Amino acid sequence: MDTIQITTSQREIVEDITPLVQDYLDGQEETKRGVLTLYSPHTTCAVTINEGCDPHVARDMIQALRRLVPHKGDYRHAEGNSDAHVKTSLIGPSQQILVEEGRLCLGTWQRIFLAEFDGPRTRTIWVHWVSG
């Protein structure tokens, strides 16, 4: 299994990691066709696919999650990042992406994002490539 490192700059931010993922693929020997799995082993950040052409989409995601899951809520978990755990569970820790001709099979507007909810931090994303 391989890894990709991402350092986030804010407590809550949605970072486009598509170039890092494509760079990973470009460095592999047999990436003509297959499935790539990205997995976050962290409990306060998530991996998602969404529109990447309009930066307002990422901001809207953060704003919507803040309304649904406020930072200062009535949480029993008292470490100060309870909202981050809930937001991560809502988005999810992983994505699978098809690969064809060595390129990520994403829709016209789609990008791969790391959604950080308890930064800034350096995050590790586990990467598993299955050629075929």
What's the pTM value of the predicted model, to 2 decimals?
0.95
Which helix (H) or strand (E) segment holds residue 14: the answer is strand 13-16
Task: Please report the pLDDT score of residue 28 as a whole number.
Answer: 87
Say how many CA atoms lie within 13 Å of 48 toward its Cβ.
Answer: 20
Which helix (H) or strand (E) segment holds residue 96: the answer is strand 94-100
Nearest to 81 by CA among 123, 43, 41: 43
Task: Please report the pLDDT score of residue 30 as a whole number.
Answer: 78
Q: Can you tell me which residue has the tokens 């800034």?
A: 120
CATH of the domain at 78: 2.60.120.460
Task: Please report the pLDDT score of residue 113 as a whole number.
Answer: 98
Q: Encoding tokens for residue 73?
A: 């809520």
35 has which bridge partners? 98, 130
CA pair distance 45, 38, nearest whole angstrom: 13
Task: Please report the pLDDT score of residue 29 as a whole number.
Answer: 80
> Total structural domains in the chain?
1
Q: What is the residue range of 13's domain?
A: 2-131
- Per-residue tens of pLDDT for the chain, all 132 residues: 999 999 999 999 999 999 999 999 999 887 789 999 999 999 999 999 999 999 999 999 999 999 999 999 899 988 999 999 999 999 999 999 999 999 999 999 999 999 999 999 999 999 999 998
Task: Please report the pLDDT score of residue 54 as a whole number.
Answer: 94
The answer to whether residues 32 and 23 touch, using CB atoms and an 8 Å cutoff, is: no
Task: Please report the pLDDT score of residue 122 as a whole number.
Answer: 99
